[in-house]
C-alpha cells in the first residue's frame, strides 16, 4: 500500500513538473505592454425625473452602496444675469446664502450642519448658482430644512457682507502678485471684451464691490431664484417614495415666476494673431495663455472635440505636456481645454514656463496647435479614446461626483441617457473626425496670446518669433487701480 502511494505521488509530481516546465517554456510576453481590451460597459441606474407640485423639477439617481445622499439645487442665476455696474452680485449672493437664513445666524447654520455630520456649500458661476447638501441618510429629514432656508430664505446680514467685502477686496489686491490670476483676467478680456459677461471676472471689481449693498443681493435673489428656474439634482441611498414627501415639505412652499432669460451677445471670433505682453518685473516664470472663442456644450461635435483635445492637451500624455514638460523641462505641466457653456466659451492652451525659455515655449505651443490639424496616427487616437472612456466612470464614483455630473442635464437640458451613451460615442470617433473638428475649431493664425512675465527678459525673444503684433500692458491696465483697503472696506 505504501509503495502504491509513493508511486502515485511520483506520477503526480512528474505531471506537475511537466506542467510547470510547459508554463515556463511559454512564459509571459514582455516584449510590450499588454493589449487593452474594449472599455467595460458603464451600467448606471436610471435617472428618474419628477416634478414637485410647485413646478420644481427633480432628477434622482439611486445608489445604495453607502448610506449617504447628495442634493444639489441648481438655479439658473449667474454672473451673466448681473445688471450694469453690479459686477460680482451673483457671486456675492451665493457666498452670503449661508451667512444667515431663516431664523439662524451664520454660526447657527454652521453648528446645525456640523451637528448632523453633514456638509453644506454654495457657489456661483457664469450661468448658475448651486446649493449643495451632503448628508448621512439618517439625518436627511433634519438637514433638508436647513438647506431650504439657505436657498430660499437668506437674510443677507449687513455685518456679514462687510466681512465678505473685505475678503474680496483683499483677493483683488492679492491678484496683482499672482501671474496666473493676471493672465486669466487678461485672457478673458482679450477674447470677449469687458462689454461681454464672459470678459469680466465673476468676483466683480473694486468699484462694484465697494458699492454693493444687502438690497442688491436681495434684489438679485428675489428676481432670479424661483422654482421655474431651478432643478434639484439628487444621488444616493434614497428612493423616490421616501424622498418626495421630504422635498415637498422643504421646498413645496417655494413660489414665484422666473425672470426673462438673459440674452448673451454673440462673441466675435479672434481675428489676426496678437500677443499681449503683461509686465511682471522679476517674475521667475511666465504665464502663457493661447486661445480663441470655442463652442457651446450642445454642439453636435462634443465627443469629437473631447477626443481631439485629449490628444492636444487634455491628458498627462498629451502632446503639449509631453513636449513642454517631459521632453524639454520647460514647465511643470501644460494643458488645453474647451470650456463648454450654454454659449461658446473659450478654448485655451496654457502653461507656466521658466522665464528664460518663454519664447521657445511659445514656439512649441504654436507647432503643436498646428500639428493637431493634421491627421492623427491610429495608435495615438486609440490611446486618447481609451483614456477618456476608461476614466469616465470616475464621474460616478461617489454620490458627490454623480450629482455634480448629473447637474449637466439640468444646465443644458440633455437627454436622460446622455451618460449611458457617452463611452460608445467616444469610441466611435475616427481620425477623420478629429482632423475635421481641429480644423473647424482651432486656427493657430487666429488666436489671442497672453504672456505675463518679466518684460525686460522675455520681450526680445517673443518679438523675434514674429508671431504677430506685440502689445504691452501693465498690471494696472489689466486689473485696474489697486483697491484701497483702508477706505473701501467700510462700505457705502
CATH number of residue 194's parent domain? 3.30.830.10
Q: Is residue 23 part of a domain?
A: no
- 236 and 279 both lie in a single domain: no
- State which of 217, 251, 285 marks the end of a domain: 251
More confident residue, 479 or 34: 479
Three-state secondary structure call for residue 434: helix
pLDDT at 490 > cutoff 70: no
Average pLDDT of the residues in 225-250: 97
How confident is residue 491, by pLDDT bands cut at 50, 70 and 90?
very low
Average pLDDT of the residues in 189-215: 96
334 forms bridges with which residues in the sheet?
A: 351
258-316 per-position pLDDT tens digit: 778 899 999 999 999 999 999 999 999 999 999 999 999 999 999 999 999 999 999 99
Average pLDDT of the residues in 23-28: 56
How confident is residue 256, by pLDDT bands cut at 50, 70 and 90?
confident
Cβ–Cβ < 8 Å for 347, 305: no
- 234 and 328 both lie in a single domain: no
- 245 and 299 both lie in a single domain: no
How confident is residue 489, by pLDDT bands cut at 50, 70 and 90?
very low
**What does the alpha-carbon distance between residue 403 and residue 61 come to, in Å, rounded to a whole number?**
8
Cβ–Cβ < 8 Å for 327, 320: no
- 313 and 385 both lie in a single domain: yes
How confident is residue 3, by pLDDT bands cut at 50, 70 and 90?
very low
Tracing cell 451600467 back to the chain, one arrives at 43
Closest CA to 308 of 431, 481, 147, 171: 431
Q: Is residue 360 part of a domain?
A: yes
pLDDT at 176 > cutoff 50: yes
- State which of 251, 286, 312 marks the end of a domain: 251
What's the whole-number average pLDDT of the chain?
A: 93
386-409 per-position pLDDT tens digit: 999 999 999 999 999 999 999 999
Closest CA to 225 of 341, 101, 344, 409: 101
Average pLDDT of the residues in 154-168: 97
Q: Is residue 230 part of a domain?
A: yes
What total number of domains does the chain contain?
2
pLDDT of residue 364: 98
- 221 and 286 both lie in a single domain: no
pLDDT of residue 36: 67
- Which residues are within 8 A (CB) of 75 and not within 5 positions of it... i.e. 6 or more apart? 128, 129, 130, 131, 151, 224, 225, 229, 230
Q: Is residue 121 part of a domain?
A: yes
Average pLDDT of the residues in 425-429: 97
pLDDT of residue 31: 78
- 279 and 340 both lie in a single domain: yes
- 443 and 474 both lie in a single domain: yes
pLDDT of residue 11: 40
How much is the CA Rg of the chain, to the nearest whole Å? 28
66-85 per-position pLDDT tens digit: 999 999 999 999 999 999 89
Q: Is residue 296 part of a domain?
A: yes
- 151 and 84 both lie in a single domain: yes
- 352 and 452 both lie in a single domain: yes
Domain that holds residue 364: 274-481
Residue 341 has a CB neighbour count (10 Å cut-off) of 21
pLDDT of residue 27: 66
- Which residues are within 8 A (CB) of 123 and not within 5 positions of it... i.e. 6 or more apart? 94, 129, 130, 132
Q: Is residue 267 part of a domain?
A: no
Q: Is residue 18 part of a domain?
A: no
- 153 and 212 both lie in a single domain: yes
pLDDT of residue 26: 60
- 348 and 212 both lie in a single domain: no
- Which residues are within 8 A (CB) of 411 and not within 5 positions of it... i.e. 6 or more apart? 74, 127, 128, 297, 342
pLDDT of residue 150: 98
**Secondary structure element (H or E) that encloses residue 472, with its range:** strand 469-473
- 231 and 345 both lie in a single domain: no
What whole-number percentage of the chain has pLDDT above 90? 88
Q: Is residue 239 part of a domain?
A: yes
Tracing cell 512649441 back to the chain, one arrives at 364
Amino acid at each position: 500500500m505504501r509503495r502504491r502511494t509513493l508511486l502515485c505521488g511520483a506520477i503526480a509530481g512528474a505531471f506537475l513538473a511537466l506542467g510547470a516546465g510547459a508554463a515556463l517554456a511559454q512564459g509571459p510576453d514582455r516584449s510590450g505592454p499588454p493589449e487593452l481590451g474594449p472599455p467595460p460597459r458603464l451600467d448606471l441606474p436610471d435617472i428618474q425625473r419628477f416634478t414637485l407640485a410647485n413646478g420644481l423639477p427633480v432628477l434622482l439617481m439611486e445608489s445604495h452602496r453607502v448610506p449617504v445622499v447628495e442634493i444639489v439645487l441648481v438655479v439658473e442665476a449667474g454672473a451673466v444675469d448681473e445688471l450694469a455696474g453690479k459686477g460680482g452680485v451673483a457671486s456675492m449672493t451665493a457666498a452670503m446664502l449661508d451667512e444667515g437664513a431663516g431664523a439662524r445666524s451664520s454660526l447657527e447654520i454652521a453648528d446645525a450642519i456640523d451637528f448632523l455630520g453633514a456638509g453644506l456649500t454654495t457657489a456661483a458661476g457664469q450661468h448658475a448658482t448651486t446649493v449643495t447638501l451632503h448628508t448621512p441618510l439618517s439625518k436627511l429629514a433634519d438637514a433638508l430644512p436647513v438647506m431650504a432656508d439657505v436657498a430660499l430664505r437668506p437674510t443677507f446680514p449687513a455685518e456679514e457682507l462687510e466681512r465678505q467685502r473685505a475678503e474680496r477686496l483683499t483677493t483683488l489686491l492679492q491678484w496683482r502678485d499672482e501671474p496666473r490670476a493676471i493672465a486669466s483676467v487678461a485672457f478673458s478680456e482679450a477674447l470677449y471684451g469687458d462689454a461681454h459677461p464672459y470678459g469680466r471676472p465673476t468676483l466683480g471689481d473694486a468699484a462694484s464691490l465697494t458699492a454693493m449693498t444687502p438690497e442688491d443681493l436681495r434684489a438679485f435673489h428675489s428676481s432670479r431664484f424661483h422654482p421655474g428656474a431651478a432643478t434639484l439634482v439628487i444621488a444616493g441611498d434614497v428612493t423616490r417614495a421616501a424622498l418626495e414627501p421630504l422635498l415637498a415639505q422643504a421646498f413645496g412652499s417655494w413660489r414665484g415666476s422666473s425672470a426673462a432669460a438673459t440674452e448673451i451677445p454673440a462673441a466675435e471670433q479672434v481675428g489676426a494673431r496678437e500677443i499681449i505682453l503683461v509686465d511682471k518685473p522679476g517674475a521667475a516664470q511666465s504665464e502663457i495663455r493661447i486661445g480663441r472663442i470655442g463652442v457651446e456644450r450642445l454642439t453636435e461635435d462634443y465627443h469629437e472635440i473631447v477626443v481631439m483635445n485629449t490628444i492636444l492637451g487634455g491628458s498627462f500624455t498629451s502632446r503639449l505636456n509631453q513636449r513642454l514638460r517631459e521632453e524639454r523641462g520647460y514647465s511643470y505641466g501644460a494643458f488645453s481645454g474647451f470650456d463648454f457653456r450654454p454659449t461658446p466659451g473659450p478654448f485655451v492652451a496654457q502653461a507656466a514656463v521658466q522665464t528664460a525659455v518663454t519664447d521657445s515655449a511659445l514656439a512649441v505651443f504654436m507647432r503643436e496647435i498646428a500639428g493637431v490639424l493634421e491627421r492623427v496616427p491610429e495608435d495615438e487616437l486609440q490611446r486618447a479614446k481609451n483614456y477618456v472612456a476608461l476614466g469616465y466612470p470616475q464621474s460616478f464614483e461617489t454620490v458627490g461626483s454623480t450629482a455634480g455630473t448629473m447637474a449637466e442635464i439640468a444646465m443644458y437640458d440633455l437627454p436622460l441617457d446622455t451618460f449611458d451613451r457617452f463611452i460608445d460615442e467616444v469610441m466611435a470617433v475616427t481620425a477623420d473626425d478629429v482632423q475635421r473638428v481641429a480644423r473647424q475649431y482651432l486656427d493657430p493664425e487666429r488666436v489671442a496670446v497672453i504672456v505675463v512675465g518679466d518684460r525686460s527678459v522675455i520681450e526680445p525673444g517673443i518679438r523675434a518669433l514674429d508671431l504677430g503684433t506685440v502689445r504691452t500692458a501693465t498690471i494696472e491696465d489689466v486689473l485696474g487701480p489697486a483697491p484701497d483697503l483702508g477706505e473701501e472696506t467700510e462700505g457705502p
